[in-house]
């Protein structure tokens, strides 16, 4: 660890503790937005906030290239020690700390970017919609390079190691309703049992066949029908579907198959099946140049032996919408080993907080390398 970062450690950990102790769920990150905006203004960053949503963007410097860092802000809503509450069990508090810590390190070292440095504190990653809102706000329209970061569990990376890319899969969440006809349980011929329709839906989902070389799955994760009266054939049910695919084309095909199954079951059983897409995250689109720059930053900070291969994970991340919506963007996400256990989204998730300092060094180094590459005439 360099001396400047060591001197900043108490301040950095203080920021982390504040963010960890003040979690806010998706689209309600009001205090988090205000806190980060205040920090940015103290260090001379131009600030952009939004009238209709949370999130804050900070910027310093001018001209090209435009290099951006992105951190997600929202916490999860989950049961912790018997109480439902907002809780940072996905590491977003650490991600925000690392991105702002990078700015602190640049300030401490007197680094001035030969171009524009932008930081994006993005809301609602857990809903899969925050990145799309930032795209709508034209936050990345002129960005040349974009870097993100995510803590990785011990099952993927050992503490003290890092990967230059996280290759998330696509995820889509669909809710549905089956509308049939209620009847007395003694007269089933007078009704349409939506539980039986749901069972057919599950069976048909299991018959979907896609390219086995591309990991994918589709399954029903919730089904609710009926009431306390056990002698009524239920005529209405609600359900949820979870779709996963490692590539965007396979996800598109999975989604199409789900809709075709619903249409066929409607005709077969004489019911209505209404499907609503609740959230969607895209699969990663790789950029070799961004990955190479991140890999070099990891080597420079942690050493070549701590540089791991890009991680392929079935989890979803809306970060990848930025690349899909801006094809010229060169983007990658740092995977940071930090001793995280027992796992992401676990109510007792914990990790080695010192890894935050590794993340700051790597992010600051990749920013420096990216600007230096352009100064040397390698756009």
In this structure, the answer to whether residues 18 and 162 fall within a common structural domain is yes
In this structure, the answer to whether residues 12 and 135 fall within a common structural domain is yes
In this structure, the answer to whether residues 84 and 130 fall within a common structural domain is yes
Backbone angles phi, psi at 277, to 5 degrees: -85, 115
Instruction: With beta carbons less than 8 A apart as the criterion, state whether 35 and 18 touch.
Output: yes
What integer pLDDT is reported at residue 379 of this predicted model? 58
In this structure, the answer to whether residues 29 and 143 fall within a common structural domain is yes
CA separation, residue 247 to residues 128, 129, 310 (Å) = 16, 19, 16
d(CA 345, CA 58): 28
What integer pLDDT is reported at residue 378 of this predicted model? 62
Which CATH number is 138's domain given? Answer: 3.40.630.10
What integer pLDDT is reported at residue 208 of this predicted model? 96
d(CA 188, CA 101): 65
Instruction: With beta carbons less than 8 A apart as the criterion, state whether 123 and 30 touch.
Output: no
In this structure, the answer to whether residues 289 and 339 fall within a common structural domain is yes
- Domain count within the chain: 2
pLDDT < 50: residue spans in the chain: none
**Residues 119-161 pLDDT 10s:** 999 999 999 899 999 999 999 999 999 999 999 999 999 999 9
In this structure, the answer to whether residues 270 and 299 fall within a common structural domain is no
In this structure, the answer to whether residues 195 and 74 fall within a common structural domain is no
Name the pTM for this structure.
Answer: 0.89
In terms of C-beta density within 10 A (0-12 exposed, 13-18 middle, 19 or more buried), how is residue 71 classed?
buried
Instruction: With beta carbons less than 8 A apart as the criterion, state whether 68 and 143 touch.
Output: yes
In this structure, the answer to whether residues 356 and 324 fall within a common structural domain is yes
In this structure, the answer to whether residues 15 and 110 fall within a common structural domain is yes
Backbone angles phi, psi at 228, to 5 degrees: -70, -20
Q: Domain ends where: 256, 281, 306?
A: 281
Domain range for 368 is: 3-169+284-375
Strands 76-80 and 83-87: antiparallel
Which CATH number is 216's domain given? Answer: 3.30.70.360
What integer pLDDT is reported at residue 38 of this predicted model? 98
In this structure, the answer to whether residues 289 and 304 fall within a common structural domain is yes
Instruction: With beta carbons less than 8 A apart as the criterion, state whether 126 and 90 touch.
Output: yes
Sort residue 248 into left (φ over 0), alpha (ψ -120 to 50) or beta.
alpha
Q: Which two tokens stand for residue 338?
A: 């930090």
Q: Domain ends where: 258, 281, 304?
A: 281
> Where does the chain show beta strands of DSSP type E?
46-49, 56-61, 66-72, 76-80, 83-87, 116-122, 145-153, 162-163, 166-168, 170-179, 183-184, 216-225, 232-233, 236-245, 272-281, 311-313, 330-340
In this structure, the answer to whether residues 25 and 155 fall within a common structural domain is yes
In this structure, the answer to whether residues 260 and 296 fall within a common structural domain is no
Q: Domain ends where: 236, 254, 281?
A: 281
């Amino acid at each position: 660890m360099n001396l400047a970062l060591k001197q900043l450690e108490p301040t950095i950990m203080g920021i982390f503790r504040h963010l960890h102790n003040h979690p806010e769920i998706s689209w309600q990150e009001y205090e988090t937005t205000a806190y980060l905006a205040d920090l940015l203004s103290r260090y001379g960053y131009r600030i952009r906030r939004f009238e209709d949503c949370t999130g804050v963007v900070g910027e310093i410097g001018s001209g090209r290239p435009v290099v951006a860092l992105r951190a997600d802000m929202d916490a999860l809503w989950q049961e912790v020690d018997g109480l439902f509450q907002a809780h940072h069990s996905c590491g977003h508090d650490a991600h925000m700390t690392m991105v702002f810590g990078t700015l602190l390190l640049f300030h401490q070292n007197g680094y001035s970017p030969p171009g524009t440095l932008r930081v994006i504190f993005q809301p609602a990653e857990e809903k899969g919609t925050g990145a799309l809102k930032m795209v709508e706000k034209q936050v990345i329209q002129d960005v040349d390079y974009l870097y993100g970061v995510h803590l990785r569990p011990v099952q993927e990376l050992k503490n003290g190691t890092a990967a230059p890319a996280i290759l998330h899969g696509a995820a889509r969440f669909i809710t549905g309703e089956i509308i049939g006809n209620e009847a007395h349980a003694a007269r089933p011929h007078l009704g349409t049992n939506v539980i039986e329709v749901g069972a057919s839906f599950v069976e048909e989902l299991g018959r979907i066949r896609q390219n086995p070389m591309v990991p994918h799955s589709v399954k029903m994760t919730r089904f609710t029908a009926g009431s306390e009266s056990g002698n009524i054939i239920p005529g209405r049910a609600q359900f949820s579907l979870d779709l996963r695919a490692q590539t965007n084309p396979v996800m598109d095909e999975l989604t199409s198959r789900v809709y075709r199954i619903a249409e066929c079951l409607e005709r077969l059983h004489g019911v209505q099946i209404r499907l609503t897409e609740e959230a969607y995250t895209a699969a990663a689109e790789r950029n070799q140049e961004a990955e190479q720059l991140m890999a070099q930053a990891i080597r420079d900070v942690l050493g070549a032996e701590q540089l791991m291969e890009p991680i392929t994970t079935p989890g979803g991340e809306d970060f990848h919408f930025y690349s899909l919506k801006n094809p010229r963007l060169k983007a990658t996400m740092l995977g940071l080993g930090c001793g995280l256990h027992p796992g992401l989204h676990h109510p007792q998730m914990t990790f080695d907080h010192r890894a935050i300092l590794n993340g700051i060094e790597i992010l600051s180094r990749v920013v420096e390398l990216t600007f230096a590459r352009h100064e040397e005439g390698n756009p």
